[in-house]
Amino acid sequence: MSWLRCAFPRPGATTRLFCFTHAGGSATAYRAWSELLPASVELHATQLPGRADRFNEPLPDDMDRLADEVTASMLPLLDRRFALFGHSMGATLAYEVTRRLEARGIAPARLFVSGARAPHDPRDRPSISEYDDDRFVAEIARLGGTEVEVLSHRAMREIILPYVRADFRLVEAYRHRPGPPLHTPISAFVSDADPVVTPVQAKSWEARTSSDFSLTVFPGDHFYLQPRRAAVVEEMARTLTG
Q: Which of 88, 114, 129, 187 is catalytic?
A: 88
Show Cβ contacts of residue 132 under 8 Å, excluding neighbours closer than 6 positions. none
Q: Strand, helix or coil at 20?
A: strand
User: Residue 132 phi/psi, 5° resolution?
Assistant: -70, 170
Show Cβ contacts of residue 225 under 8 Å, excluding neighbours closer than 6 positions. 87, 114, 115, 232
User: Residue 101 phi/psi, 5° resolution?
Assistant: -65, -45
- Verify whether residue 222 is a known catalytic residue: yes
Q: Strand, helix or coil at 41?
A: strand
Q: In angstroms, rounded to a whole number, what is the distance separating the alpha carbons of residues 217 and 53?
A: 34
Antiparallel, parallel or unpaired: β 41-46 and 4-5: antiparallel
Q: Cite the active site residues.
A: 88, 222
